[in-house]
């Protein structure tokens, strides 16, 4: 979730690792976090520079094998967060594919018109 809404690894992980640091993350749980979550839009092109760990392939790989049911048994709140993250990643990936397909279609359509 933190990566999706723009936080950097250094803000939520132990130094030099990808290991989540709950103490660091706790300090970020405030009004700003909820504003970022509510304003997140998975649709449309992004102009920002992204680190590898902020890209969809990395996020999807990290979500593999995490069962919503198992997380729900542990914490209902964490399960809701996981559902939001899964939905946001799925929507984002779907949008990227749709925009890519649309660009390809436009190229083919232009090429056909030129012939």
Write out pLDDT tens, residues 43-53.
998 888 888 88
pLDDT band at 24, cuts 50/70/90? Answer: very high
Work out the mean pLDDT of the chain and round it to a whole number: 90
* CA–CA distance, 12 with 113 (Å, rounded to integer): 51
pLDDT band at 115, cuts 50/70/90? Answer: low
H or E stretch covering 47: none
Arithmetic mean of pLDDT, 84-105: 92
In Å, how far from its chain's centre is CA 62? 11
Question: 44: alpha, beta or left, given left = phi > 0 and alpha = psi -120 to 50?
Answer: left
Q: Which of 98, 68, 97, 96 has the alpha carbon at shortest distance from 84?
A: 68
């Amino acid at each position: 979730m933190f990566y999706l809404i723009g936080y950097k690894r250094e803000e939520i992980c132990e130094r030099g690792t990808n290991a989540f640091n709950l103490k660091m993350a706790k300090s970020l749980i405030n009004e700003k976090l909820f504003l970022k979550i509510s304003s997140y839009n998975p649709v449309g092109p992004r102009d920002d520079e992204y680190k590898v760990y902020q890209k969809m392939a990395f996020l999807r790989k990290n979500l593999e094998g995490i069962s919503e049911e198992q997380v729900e048994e542990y914490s209902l709140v964490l399960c809701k967060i996981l559902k939001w993250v899964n939905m946001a990643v799925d929507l984002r990936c779907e949008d990227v594919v749709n925009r890519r397909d649309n660009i390809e279609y436009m190229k083919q359509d232009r090429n056909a018109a030129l012939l």
